[in-house]
Amino acid sequence: MAIADTIRTEMTTAWKAGNTQRRDALRLLIAAIEYARIDLGHALNDEETTKVLQKEAKQRRDSITEFTAAGRMDLVAKEQGELDAIVGFLPQQMSEEELRGIVREVIEEVGATSAADLGKIMRPLMARIAGRADGGAANAIAKDILAGS
């Protein structure tokens, strides 16, 4: 079953169970997927749907950071509930050790020796970790390794 279909099924289940927070979070995901479908002009495959989910998860993480800084714990709880719903549909995230190993492999493959080579690293690295790790974390690890830490 496609990810989008699974989300729709889960939304119906949450609705019938009276779980309004989950239902509303899944409705937002369905809307985001529909907007992406309209923008692209075709039904999304699972890879494209995963990218939409990752974008939505990143927005929730950023909102949680901002709301926490502003002391709005009520909004933090709402955003965290939405984030929890989104994360359930994303592929298993790799551990930091796994990510470090892949970053080291890519650095060796492209022959990078300094932070100036970061651009050469990121494209093949992102292709390899797509959907399984955060690009910002991968970038930070690459900088750390290239700096000699």
Tens of pLDDT, residues 12-25: 999 999 999 999 99
pTM, rounded to two decimals = 0.71
As for how many domains the chain has, the answer is 2
Question: Which of 41, 48, 28 lies closest to 130 in space, CA to CA?
Answer: 48
Could you tell me if 69 and 41 are in contact, meaning their C-beta atoms sit under 8 angstroms apart? no
Tens of pLDDT, residues 19-74: 999 999 999 999 999 999 999 999 988 888 988 998 998 899 999 999 999 999 99
Domain boundary at 87, 109, 124, which?
A: 87
Residue 138 lies in domain: 96-146
Domain boundary at 70, 87, 104, which?
A: 87
